[in-house]
Amino acid sequence: MTDTLLSVRNLRVVYPGDDGDFHAVRDVSFTLGRERLGIVGESGSGKSTTGRAIMGLVAPPGRITADEMRLGDLDLTRMNEAGFRKLRGKRIAMVLQDPKYSLDPVMTVGDQIAETHRQHVNAGRKAARLAALEMLEAVQIRDPERVYGLYPHQVSGGMGQRVMIAMMLIAGPDILIADEPTSALDVTVQTQVLAIMDNLVRSRGMGLILVSHNLHLVSSFCDRVLVMYAGRVVETCAAGDLANARHPYTRGLLAALPELGHRRAELPQLQRDPAWLEGSL
Amino acid sequence: MTVARRIAAPLRKIGSLLVSVGLTFLGLTCVTFVIGRVIPIDPVLAIVGDKASNETYERVRLQLGLDQPLLEQYWHYLVKVVHGEFGTSVMTAHPVLDDLLSVFPATLELATLSLVIGVVGGIPLGVYAAVNRGRWQDQLIRFMSLLGYSMPVFWLGLIGLLLFYAKLGWVAGPGRVDVGFDDMVPAVTGLMTIDSLLAGEDEVFWNVLSHLVLPSSILGYLSLAYVARMTRSFMLSQLKQEYILATLAKGLSPFRVVWIHALGNVWVQLVTVIALTFGSLLEGAVLTETVFAWPGLGLYLKNSLFAADLNAVLGGTVLVGVVYIVLNMLSDVVYTLVDPRARGQGT
């Protein structure tokens, strides 16, 4: 990994509360090269928040701190909101879970794609439209001209997510954070959307962070996997080695996965150990 | 193609609207008819007075068709209403329709200006408050709109007159125009601002505007309070949506996120609020019109109620009902413009 796009050391996200602060992300460290990094964990494990913190998208009163957070040669820890705004879409972009909710319902999908382009490239209306049409083609939408003028409620989930990918990649970011990009989609289109995303990310030499609760998906799709629990990274390993994971939480999760062809009367329940919260193995 | 669809969809909508409008109108006349029958005012007595002889009483009763079956009476009533015949006002001795046509423009003029003030001021304030939720700007705007809610309008009107008319002399006093300018411009639209401009009477125009400013500011403030409050709460719920996060992730400026994306969705909800605000303004603000001696619908209805002038009251009620029907129709049409989902066609 000579080509580090992003390096994060001891990232913390804290939400101050009336009865003490809530630590959503605790001392998360990782690096990202031109690879596909999976972050898995249960709901509330801090995996989505980690992705958002990298983009500076933690809503106040949440606070982001880190010993180091570098994007290429940029120090993100010193970045203010205006600085982050220039990076979003242009250097780091994010695909959200459900296109039904993550696209503006009263603007045509084409205009929403073109909007990203115009924000980051000094382009006129015409040029932005052409770029958006090209991008729609890149996410394998047939008849981009027609789709350009559709509103989000007129496109299917799979098409909506491709629009979302187009909208996020049009300004040519280095890193794409995909936050549960397929969990709202029909199973049949999930692989299709993943393949489209993977193709684009590879051909552009980007880094991808795939946030998911789906162990199967992450282990088959990604190069490396971070396993998060209660805001901490409890395990980092190559995706292929996930079966040999050492942390009891990961092992517990894996044990709870049903397998085709192996009928089991009962799936084992995950037994949580309070010691995991301390983050020591 | 898309342009044709953009036009065709609203047209189809208008067709189905007309049917529902017809039904609503039928219901409205039904209600006014029943009110006219159950109200403990004898329409015959109201005309002949209680000193009239039995013969006169009976003659007028027959003239009014009160001996016929109810259904038949309703039918006659409906036919008359459709033709704009609401009978004669006892109070003014004019046909009620003529009265309404002369008072309604006064209210329309006042209501329109008030609505413009309410919308132009209320929406930005509501957006600004929502964006600064919990901060002092938000508190200030909320306090202002709470004040607008709670202040009695007649008191506000009197204080306004006392200060800006009597003390400072910045605006003209009650009425629509100074007595000296009365009847100087022919009534074309009934809206004196437009009529005076049409007649080329600049002086009259400024005088009319000077009369209009204070009452419309007061009514406008009340609308503003309501519109700002609603805008704020609609905005807050939109700002929580996922698509807002997506627009931020695209790197859009806060201005675009708030004023294009979030507000674009808020408009959909605001259409109803604005239509209802306009409706309640057009009903005639009784108290404001009374304080400002504004010869509008509110004042007319109040006077005819006090005079037990049933024809005038029922005519006015039908007018208010029609105003609401028209506003509903308009807002349904506007919906299809601001909300692509309401255009109701597939892909």
What mean pLDDT value characterizes chain B? 87
Q: Is B303 on the interface with A (CB under 8 A)?
A: no
Q: Is A116 on the interface with B (CB under 8 A)?
A: yes
Beta-ladder partners of B342: none
Q: Looking at the predicted structure, is the pLDDT value of residue B41 above 80?
A: no
How far off is chain B from A172, nearest CA to CA, in Å?
11
What span, in angstroms and rounded, lies between the C-alpha atoms of A138 and A154?
Answer: 20
pLDDT at A35: 92
The pLDDT confidence band at residue B153, using thresholds 50, 70 and 90, is confident
Domains of chain B listed by start with CATH number: 20-83 (no CATH), 101-343 (1.10.3720.10)
What span, in angstroms and rounded, lies between the C-alpha atoms of A192 and A199?
Answer: 11
Q: Name the most confidently modeled range: A31-40, A253-262, A266-275, B185-194.
A: A31-40
The pLDDT confidence band at residue B2, using thresholds 50, 70 and 90, is low
pLDDT digits (tens, 9 = 90+) for A164-181: 999 999 999 999 999 999
What span, in angstroms and rounded, lies between the C-alpha atoms of A280 and A234?
Answer: 8
Other CB atoms closer than 10 Å to residue B301's CB: what's the count? Answer: 25
Contact A85 B341 (CB under 8 A): no
pLDDT at B20: 85
Amino acid identity, position B261: H
Among B242, B245, B264, the residue with its CB nearest the CB of A106 is B264
How far off is chain B from A142, nearest CA to CA, in Å?
14
What span, in angstroms and rounded, lies between the C-alpha atoms of B8 and B11?
Answer: 5
Closest listed residue to residue B219, CA positions, set B140, B139, B296? B296
CA-angle at B70, arms to B65 and B73, nearest 5°:
40
Q: Name the most confidently modeled range: A228-237, B7-16, B18-27, B261-270.
A: B261-270
What span, in angstroms and rounded, lies between the C-alpha atoms of A81 and A67?
Answer: 19
Q: Are B239 and B163 in contact (CB under 8 A)?
A: no
What span, in angstroms and rounded, lies between the C-alpha atoms of B16 and B23?
Answer: 11
Q: Is A154 on the interface with B (CB under 8 A)?
A: yes
pLDDT digits (tens, 9 = 90+) for A61-78: 889 999 999 998 889 888
What mean pLDDT value characterizes chain A? 88
DSSP string, A215-279: HHHHHHH-SEEEEEETTEEEEEEEGGGGGG--SHHHHHHHHT--BTTB--SSPPPPPP-GGGGGT
What ipTM describes this predicted complex?
0.90
How far off is chain B from A110, nearest CA to CA, in Å?
14
Domain A6-259+266-276 has CATH 1.10.287.10: no
The pLDDT confidence band at residue B344, using thresholds 50, 70 and 90, is low
Q: Looking at the predicted structure, is the pLDDT value of residue A280 above 90?
A: no
Residue matched to tokens 């205009």: A111
Contact A93 B250 (CB under 8 A): yes
Residue A274: asked if its preceding bond is cis (omega within 30°), the reply is no
pLDDT digits (tens, 9 = 90+) for A43-64: 888 899 999 999 999 888 889 9
pLDDT digits (tens, 9 = 90+) for A234-273: 888 888 888 787 788 888 878 777 777 777 777 777 777 7
Span of B123-127, B129-133, B201-205 with lowest mean pLDDT: B201-205
pLDDT at B10: 67
Span of A86-95, A212-221, B93-102, B103-112 with lowest mean pLDDT: A212-221
pLDDT at A196: 93
pLDDT digits (tens, 9 = 90+) for A104-159: 999 999 999 999 999 998 888 999 999 999 999 999 999 999 999 999 999 999 99
pLDDT at A1: 46
Residue B18, exposed/middle/buried by CB under 10 A (0-12, 13-18, 19+)?
exposed
The pLDDT confidence band at residue A281, using thresholds 50, 70 and 90, is very low
How far off is chain A from B18, nearest CA to CA, in Å?
27
Among A85, A102, A107, the residue with its CB nearest the CB of B251 is A85
Q: Looking at the predicted structure, is the pLDDT value of residue B310 above 90?
A: no
pLDDT at B257: 94
Q: Is A98 on the interface with B (CB under 8 A)?
A: yes
The pLDDT confidence band at residue B347, using thresholds 50, 70 and 90, is very low
Angstrom CA distances, B51 to B45, B83, B261, B302, B304, stand at 9, 33, 70, 26, 22
Strand bridging mode A224-229 / A232-238: antiparallel
H runs (alpha helix) in chain A? 47-54, 81-87, 99-102, 109-120, 125-138, 144-148, 157-169, 187-203, 215-221, 248-255
pLDDT at B346: 43
